[in-house]
Amino acid sequence: MNKLVITVAPTGSLPTKKMTPHVPITPKEIVDTGVRCEAAGAAIFHIHARNPEDESASTDFSIFTEIYQGLKEKTNMILQISTGGRAGMGYAERSERLKLCPEMASLTTGSVNFPNRVYANSPDLIESLAKDMIQYRIKPEMEIFDCSMINNAVQLVKKELAAHPIHFDFVLGLKGAMPATAENLIHLKNSIPSASTWTVAGIGRHQLSMSLHAILMGGHVRVGLEDNIYYKSGDLATNEQLVERIVRLSKEIGRDIASPDEAREMLSINIS
Ligand code: ZN
């Protein structure tokens, strides 16, 4: 079986220190978490920035730069910068960080209802972010909250705003989007172009079950406090614990873990 690529999403936009002391907020905390997660077996590190004063989601380029440079110095992981819009919805705010030329960045190819608001990604915004990713030679991770977004990602390739093979991240279990069921995961997997790669991000208590399905189905896994702060009910997790658990479970059924360089090859990321 192909090796398992583990992505860790340690921070996101929502968890605060009050919710869990384990969420890394400052650039130093995020970089230190990266070092521990790489040692645990993560190959991809998904980056959000926070304003250290109030822990709110940040679009500040200097904070992204500090996190990115720190991780680049101290780890060999594939660094994936989020272009998500919780911190600021405009194109300018969401695209500036791409100038850091990370190997990967997330790209949500449609709009979706979050529990309390619309997460708006207009066609123009998506195409503008995709163009930047081509210009900076960044591999997009297509963030898929419902089936239509797969088609939108394929359309980007037709317009030469992205390239095959596409890498998808299926986000399942978020209120307002697709429920985290095995049937939905199978349907999504069967809806993507052949030769694509995919990972799954189960939200909340669905993180573990979705990860297990993906391990068995030959997909890849994303874990971390961005999507789920618990190890089990009532028991807070650290990011590295969530990575370690996936490593253990995957090895137990005979599927080895991809190193960052192996993940680069599997995901067709340019090694410069
Ligand atoms: Zn994110």
Whole-prediction pTM? 0.97
- Sign of the Cα pseudo-torsion (1, 150, 202, 8, in order): positive
The share of the chain scoring above pLDDT 90, in percent, equals: 93
Q: What is the dihedral of CA 101, 136, 76, 227, to 10 degrees?
A: 70
Q: Ligand 1 center to residue 171 CA distance, Å?
A: 10
Task: Enumerate the H helices of 136-205 as residue ranges.
Answer: 148-158, 182-191
Q: Give the distance (Å) from ligand 1 centre to CA of residue 80.
A: 9
Continuous segment of H or E residues that includes residue 222:
strand 220-223
What spacing in Å lies between the alpha carbon of 192 and ligand 1's midpoint? 21
Please tell me the distance between residue 47's alpha carbon and the centre of ligand 1 in angstroms: 7
Q: Rounded to whole angstroms, how far apart are CA atoms 210 and 144?
A: 14
d(CA 107, ligand 1 centre) in Å: 10
Tokens of 186: 């199978």
For 118-153, write each residue's pLDDT tens digit: 999 999 999 999 999 999 999 999 999 999 999 999
Convert the pLDDT of each residue in 83-101 to its tens digit: 987 766 789 989 999 999 9
Measured between its terminal Cα atoms, the distance across the chain in Å is 28
Q: How far is the CA of 82 from the centre of ligand 1 (A)?
A: 5
In tens, the pLDDT along 244-263 reads 999 999 999 999 999 999 99
> Ligand 1 centroid vs 213 CA: distance in angstroms?
21
Crossing angle of helices 239-252 and 206-217, rounded to 10° = 40
CA dihedral 54, 20, 61, 136 (to 10 degrees): -160
